[in-house]
Structure 1
Amino acid sequence: MGIPAPSPQSRAVVTGASSGIGMALARELAARGYGLIIVARRGEILENLAAQLREQHGTAVEVRAVDLSDPTAVAVLCGELAQREVSILANNAGIATFGPLAKLDPAYEQAQVRLNVNAVHDLTLAVLPQMVARRSGGILMVGSAAGNMPIPNNATYAASKAFVNTFSESLRGEVADSGIHVTLLAPGPVRDATPSAEEATNVDANVPDFLWHDTTSVARMTLDALGRNKMRVVPGALSKAMSVAGGYSPRKITAPIVGRFYRKLGEQPSGD
């Protein structure tokens, strides 16, 4: 059956909806008529987004201000979603760190795994049985081109996204005959607009402008791909190059090269 059409009782769930791809996905889904449950830590931003989407599209939008790195909070959300009619789950929320693992905050690295891996797994488990029973639904996994290869100075993030990438494609194989669409988005760098020099982060400074992809176009092409049940969406030149390098280049050669670049992303910018 595939992706069900919007209905008054069903909801599309988008995690990490307070910024970036997640916000763009929420906007695009609302424009397509879907009622939403939007999830992120920053409740005020979600409430503002919900008000905009209700006014623009007249669709139902529910806000869940949840820290998905908190297992207790995730368990509560999963309990709710298991009882709701979820037509689409967009597992988008995630964080990244850069630099040598031994020098990073252990608590933050552990939270990164809980958010990037455990929450994705738990939320999928919560909604999958109902989708299988209905023989319809869509699950969008936001992985990363970084999950295709070992990346020194990005170890936790790369490993966590390797889980998402593999989990997505494995699950896709399991539900191929169940009418459920599973699509993996493996983006490179994305942003809403080119920042000013004062607002630019270290990542902005080290990644050339032509390698960035627009969040709105990424959201639109990804939802179109989910509708077609495409296995993987890889927007942008950098993510495509990383996918090829991860699949075909000797890791003992590529890992040190990529690692040196990612070390730069972890360095504090000079000035100020």
Structure 2
Amino acid sequence: MARYAGKVTDEVWCFSKPEQRVQWPYNKWYNAHIKKVIRYGYVRVYWDRAINELRTLEKLKAEEHDPVTVRLDDGDRAVLGRVLKAGVETLMVFLDRISTQVEAEAFCEKAGIPPEDLIDLLGKIYRYLPFGAQMRQLVTEDDPAAAYLGQLASYKLGHSLALLDAGRTRAGRVRLVEEVGIPEDVLLDLVRRADLSRLHLMGGGMIRQAWALGYKGLAALQKATPEDYYARCVAYYDEVGKGKPFDFTAGAVASHLARMREAVAIVEE
């Protein structure tokens, strides 16, 4: 890895190629993909890692049953080593230090990190962080909870990560019930959906299906047996008149539930 010797052109600090339709200069990309996620308190707690620990990993997603992997190569570990030598010991502090292109340029110059190597590592960190989804994607139109999504959106809680941050504690939900005017039971139901959206492979379709199967939240999925889950899925597919997905197997069900059991509970019930 060549040592970074000074400022370079803005093209190097871009997350897209010149010929691509949508351009992602550093500040725009960082704000949209990193800053909007790490602003939430629970993300800063549960997704933080020691830089020294990251240097020892081959992949950021290391759970046995999680097929979503973000592999780290020798170049990434070299960058992390320079980050550590620059006096930064945790991932969240590192991300805070490079929140703008100006800050990133200064940090790279100090630490001797080529900008393109930092850009590559940030792309992997983005895939490690939770994605979440719009709350409207997690609820069917005929669900009673759907009637309250507009109220959530008006309080800037239309995204699952935002709602989870505001409502994952009992005190937070008490405050939201008073401020937003959503019934307590409906709010908890929506927070449970938002909670699942932080997990890899749990998109809107999987979450809506979990509710249709009667598994309303992480705790319910963690208690489910593969046999019962499989049987409920078969009955569900028959009821809605859809054939079983090609990847719907007993092994896939077992791996899915294993991922649920490995997930850390962060919602206070």
Query: TM tier, shorter chain?
Result: under 0.3
Q: Between Structure 1 and Structure 2, whose CA radius of gyration is higher? A: 2
Task: Considering Cα pairs closer than 8 Å and 6+ residues apart, tell me whether 1 or 2 has the greater RCO.
Answer: 1
TM value normalised by structure 1: 0.26
What TM-score, normalized by structure 2, do the two folds share? 0.26
Q: Greater helix share, 1 or 2?
A: 2
Larger strand share, 1 or 2: 1
